[in-house]
Structure 1
Amino acid sequence: MKTPPLVIVIILTVVTVNPLYADDDSHYGRYWQGGEWKEEYRDGPCEVKMESKPGKSKKEIKCKDGIGASWHGEWKKEFTDGRCKIKQEAKSDEFKEEVKCD
C-alpha cells in the first residue's frame, strides 16, 4: 500500500513545527539556567516585572488599587530554601520577591 503524499506532508509538518511550541511555561526555569534576562508582562489587571542574573532573581507585581492581587494584607518574610535566601514583601497593591543564591 502506497502512502498518499498529503499524509506525508502533514506528518512532516507536525513533527517539525510541534517542538517549536514545546516551551517551558515556568518563568523560574530560566533563572536556574543562568544568563541574564528581563521580562515585563500583564497578568490580568496587574503589571509583572521579572529580572534574573546568575545567582539572583527579582520579581515585582503591581496591581492598581490592589485589584487582582493574589496576596492579602501587608507583610514581610525572609527565609532560606536550600542554598537560596528569599525576601518577600507585600503591600495592598504591590508584591516583591528577591532570591539570592550562593
Structure 2
Amino acid sequence: MNKLRLTLLGLGALVLHTAAYADHTRYDDRRWWRDCWEGERKEEFRDGPCRVKLESKHDEFKREIKCKDGRGAWWRGEWKDEFRDGRCRVKQDVKHDEFKEEVKCD
C-alpha cells in the first residue's frame, strides 16, 4: 500500500511540474511572431490575472502583457534589451508588471 502511495505521489508531482512548465513557456518563445507572417491581426485576451495584446502587420509585430501588481507574471526583474533574430530586430522593455516586445523585420 505504501509503495502505491509513493508511486501515485511521484506521478502527481510529475504531472504538476509538466503543467507548470508548459504554462511558463507559453509566451516565453522568442519566435512567437513566426505564426503571424500573413496579413494583419489584432488580438486581446486574458491569461489568468494578465491582459495580453498581440498586433501584427506586414513585418511588424507587437506583444504587450500587463499583470496587475505583477501577479501572474512569468518574467522576473526589469530590463531593456535589443537584439537581432535572423532578419528581425527585437526590442524588449520589461517592468515588474508589464512586458512589451516589438519586432520589426527587414
TM-score by length of 1: 0.70
Match of 2:22? none
Answer yes or no: is 1:76 the counterpart of 2:80. yes
Runs of 4+ in 1 over 2 A off after TM superposition: 27-30
Match of 1:65? 69
Match of 1:28 among 3, 26, 33: 33
Which one has the largest radius of gyration?
A: 1
Counterpart code for 1:55: D
Counterpart code for 1:97: E
Structure 1: give runs of 5+ residues left out of the alignment: 1-26
Match of 1:85? 89
Match of 2:60? 56
What per-residue deviation string (whole Å, max 9, x for no partner) do you get for residues 16-68 of structure 1? Answer: xxxxxxxxxxx635412x21010000111100000000010000000000000
Counterpart code for 1:41: F
Match of 1:45? 49
Counterpart code for 2:101: E
Question: Partners of 1:29 and 1:101 in 2: how far apart?
Answer: 11
Structure 2: give runs of 5+ residues left out of the alignment: 1-31
Q: Report the RMSD for the aligned CA atoms in angstroms.
A: 1.6
Identity, % of aligned pairs?
67
Question: Partners of 1:88 and 1:96 in 2: how far apart?
Answer: 6
Question: What is the number of residues matched between the two proteins?
Answer: 76
Counterpart code for 2:49: P
> Residues 76 and 59 (structure 1 numbering): CA distance in 2 closer, same or farther, change over 3 Å?
same
Counterpart code for 2:103: V
